[in-house]
Copies of this chain bind each other. A is one copy, B any other.
Amino acid sequence: MTGALTIVGLGPGPADWIVPEASAVLDAASDIVGYQSYLDRVPQRPGQQRHGSDNRAEITRARHALAMATEGRRVAVVSGGDPGVFAMAAAVFEAIEAGEAAWRRLDVMVVPGISAMQAAAARLGAPLGHDFCAISLSDNLKPWDVVERRLHAAAEADFVIALFNPASRARPENIHLAFQQLRLCKLATTPVAFARAIGRPDERIVLTRLGDADPATADMSTLVLIGSSETRFIERPGRPPWLLTPRSYGVGR
Q: Which residues of chain B have C-beta atoms less than 8 A from A157's C-beta?
A: 133, 149-150, 152-154, 157
User: Given contacts A153-B153, A251-B141, is CB(A136)–CB(B126) below 8 Å?
Assistant: no
Of residues 115 through 161 on chain A, the ones whose CB sits less than 8 Å from some CB of chain B are: 115, 118-119, 121-123, 125-136, 141-143, 146, 149-150, 152-154, 156-159
The B-contacting residues of A in range 169-211, CB under 8 angstroms, are none
Residue A234 contacts which of B14, B82, B97, B121 (CB distance < 8 angstroms)? B97
Instruction: Kindly identify which residue among B84, B118, B248 contacts A126, using a CB–CB cutoff of 8 Å.
Output: B84
Contact indicator per residue, chain A 84-110, by CB within 8 Å of chain B (1) or not (0): 111101111110110000001100111
Tell me the number of copies of this protein: 2
Residue A19 is within 8 A (CB to CB) of chain B in the complex: yes
Stretch at the interface among A43-51, A215-223, A236-244: A236-244
Residue from B11, B112, B125, B129 in contact with A121 in the complex, judged by beta carbons closer than 8 Å: B112
Q: Interface residue count for A (Cβ, 8 Å)? A: 78
Picked from B104, B118, B248, the residue with its CB within 8 Å of the CB of A112 is B118
Taking A17-B21, A84-B127, A130-B142 as known contacts, 9 extra A-B pairs with beta carbons closer than 8 A to each other, sorted by chain A number, are A14-B21, A17-B112, A89-B126, A90-B130, A93-B125, A94-B244, A114-B114, A154-B157, A157-B157
